[in-house]
Structure 1
Amino acid sequence: MYIDSAKLFEGFAMTKEMKRVGEKEFNSRKSALDSLYSFLQKSSVAGAQKEQLMQEFIQRKEEFEKFNQSYPQEQTSKIWSRIKSYTSDFSKDKKYQLVIGSDGQQTVLFADEKIDVTDELLTYLNKKYEGI
């Protein structure tokens, strides 16, 4: 049996949930950073206060960039870990000895559609994730 790894990952409820959480956090951090930048541009801010705010802006910008780099990688790792765990359960339930993932990078050059269990596994993953 084989599954379309990209379709499985994108259709998994946990992936969708983590994207929503990440987008919300991204927007919140970006908004705070934009507000601080706008405040820095005001002519009423000067001297030591401006220097202190500039340091805070630089720190927040670095944290924002770090978040943008690390969050997707961390969540992808967590999602794949969960998918692998659920796929193991699915395979045992179905008595499959081998499930091959195809990720569009030519790891599987041909597979008959009759042995594609992506949709079946995706339904199983989402039900298990949602506690059904």
Structure 2
Amino acid sequence: MSYRKWIFPIVNLITLAFVLYIYATITPAKSAYFLNQAVFEASTARQELELRLGHMKTDHQKHLDSLTTLMQTVEDGSMLVEDYREAVKEYTLQQQKLTETYTAELWRQINQYVNDYGEEHDYDYIFGATGDGSLMYANLSRDITDQIITYINKRYEGEN
């Protein structure tokens, strides 16, 4: 007779487990997408990157301008012409490397912030739409590009 005392709680436990299982399998995953390039372009960090690169280009151009002026004042400027060409090549290479480094770092930061955003807002999936066919269709109601831009810029500025 003591087994009857345990039947009701066991049946309830099995029923609860079954209901939770059904709920977990029927509940759709929360997912959204954002436009990668739009987030990149609107990023405060990218705008600051462009400013830094702009300052560097200005400094390089000042140096090249001074070499040009020097070449015009010196009679035998052949050595200066070579210096000028070398400086142009060096500055171009520096700018390319710095741009690549900054861009890679910015994408790493964006990826981390999107990951954090997904965790904070209970998303199961957030897809990045790049326009290369990896996301062929998405309902516009699932577009969280603006929210991601706002979140990333606030995080970058230390507000979040």
What TM-score, normalized by structure 1, do the two folds share?
0.88
- The list of structure 1 runs, each at least 4 consecutive aligned residues, that deviate by more than 4 angstroms after superposition, is none
Match of 1:31 in 2: 62
Match of 1:22 in 2: 53
Distance, in Å, in 1 between the alignment partners of 2:60 and 2:124 is 46
Match of 2:84 in 1: 57
* Structure 2 unaligned regions, length at least 5: 1-31
Q: Deviation of residue 26 (structure 1)?
A: 0.9
* Structure 1 unaligned regions, length at least 5: none
Distance, in Å, in 2 between the alignment partners of 1:102 and 1:21 is 28
Contact 1:30–1:64 under 8 Å retained in 2: no
User: What pairs with 1:1-132 in structure 2 (closer than 5 Å)?
Assistant: 1-42=32-73, 45-47=74-76, 50=77, 52-132=79-159
Q: Deviation of residue 101 (structure 1)?
A: 0.7
Equivalent AA in structure 2 for residue 107 of structure 1: S
Identity over aligned residues, as a percent?
A: 25
Higher relative contact order (CA 8 A, sep 6+): 1
Equivalent AA in structure 2 for residue 15 of structure 1: R
Larger Rg computed on CA atoms: 2
What TM-score, normalized by structure 2, do the two folds share?
0.73
Aligned residues: 128
Contact 1:18–1:75 under 8 Å retained in 2: yes
Q: Deviation of residue 79 (structure 1)?
A: 0.3
